[in-house]
Amino acid sequence: MSKKISDLPHIPGENPFIVARGGFYRRWIQMIDNIEEFEFTVKQLDTTLQTNWVPVWRQAGRKFEKLGDEAEKAGNFEDARNQYLLAKTHYAIGRFPSEITDLKREISQDCSRAYEKACRHLEPKIEIAEIVCNGLTVRAHFRVPKCDSPVPAVLIMCGADVFKEDRGWAAELALENGLAALVMDAPGTGENEFPWAPESVVAWEAAVDYLMARKEVDSNRVGAFGISRGGYSVLQLAGTAPAKIKSVVAVAGHPFHNEPSKKDMEEIVKTRNERAQFQFGDKDGPSWVPAWSPEQEYEMSKKWSLDSLGLVDKISMPVLMINGDEDGLAPASNIYFMLQSGKPGMRSAKVYKGSGHCAFDHQAEWGPIAFQWLAKNM
């Protein structure tokens, strides 16, 4: 019997040499159909530096892409799509955390190519949408179910180190619930040239305006869905443009408030400093994230928190928040803080006991429910 994701140990953390539920590979593990093979690939890694990291994931990606080419040639389009998506996922891991070097940009192109192949026989097809805002153009993926009248739509907001190609599953769930979907990279990643700054919320609002202007979309029924940094962004957008957003699902997200407990602060600093141990580019390049301290965390919160930006009470639409109670990046206290404000019945949450960042080990449950909830609350 082949190993299942549920058979993996639960080890929340950021160690790229361990395959576990809640660990580093939580971002992609739900997209993998052969855990033993995936574990074998991880065992080929002896460093996260690109000289070893990129070739290992590129080799794996090319194997699946070749299988996809063979299946497509034989007319087995469903199998071809699955193989191409596996190729895309392996290339995406090789690109992680972003296109920080020439080699990372090369494997990012591999990722885009494999995803384009995976979408070649999709119905409804993906349309490349161009969101124009403040002189910049952001390319996003738009899909809409076949319909005789305008449908509700959802903006699917990506996070810091996962690009829109890795959120195609969310668009599928939107379509299954009769929603059009616009999947967009976060500022500072992928095909979004806006800098990562609080004021870049204008790019998200421009995406909503794009949706509202589409003839296929009911402009009075637009919602938003985001994970991790996207879980923060979706609420920032909701507070910035409350008249345009009708319902929101935020999976994780941070910071919402400015008063972390001593325990939360210890976990945040510990987790960020665990990340800081790893370099994913050149030996002489920067670490994944900089070393962190409580002082830096306080300063970041003062600049970014929904509380500091005056947005908490402006979030007036139905909100569903999801996370694990052992998240060292976006503590569940963010959710509890949001539940303390707003009208009764307008904010709800699911916090998974014993689960880490974004409760990805429960994605099979909360993913479908999130889009059912969005459709119901438009």
pLDDT tens digits for 90-115?
999 999 999 999 999 999 999 999 99
* Parallel, antiparallel or unpaired: strands 151-157 and 248-251: unpaired
For residue 148, what are the contacts with CB-CB under 8 A and spacing of at least 6?
none
What sign results for the dihedral spanned by CA atoms 50, 186, 353, 8? negative
For residue 286 the two structure tokens come to 């920067």
Distances (CA, A) of 341 to 106, 307, 311: 46, 11, 11
Instruction: Take residue 232 and report the two structure tokens written for it.
Output: 């923060």
Q: What is the mean pLDDT of the chain?
A: 96
Residue tagged 């939580």 (tokens) = 26
Please indicate, yes or no, whether the overall pTM of this predicted structure exceeds 0.85.
yes
- pLDDT range class, residue 286, cuts 50, 70, 90: confident
d(CA 201, CA 75) in angstroms, rounded, equals 44
Q: Domains in the chain, please, with CATH?
A: 11-118 (1.20.1440), 127-258+305-376 (3.40.50.1820)
Sign of CA dihedral 50, 160, 201, 370: positive
Q: Within 13 Å and on the Cβ side, how many CA atoms surround 109? A: 5
Contact present, 327 and 317 (Cβ < 8 Å): no
pLDDT at 12 over 90: no
Rg for the chain, CA atoms, rounded: 20
Q: How much is the average pLDDT of 295-324?
A: 97
pLDDT value at residue 1:
64
Nearest by Cα to 10 from 34, 26, 28: 26
**What percentage of the chain reaches a pLDDT higher than 70?**
100
What mean pLDDT is predicted for residues 157-172?
Answer: 95
Instruction: Express each pLDDT in 264-273 by its tens digit.
Output: 999 999 999 9
pLDDT in tens, 115-145: 999 999 999 999 999 999 999 999 999 999 9
Task: Tell me the average pLDDT across 203-224.
Answer: 98
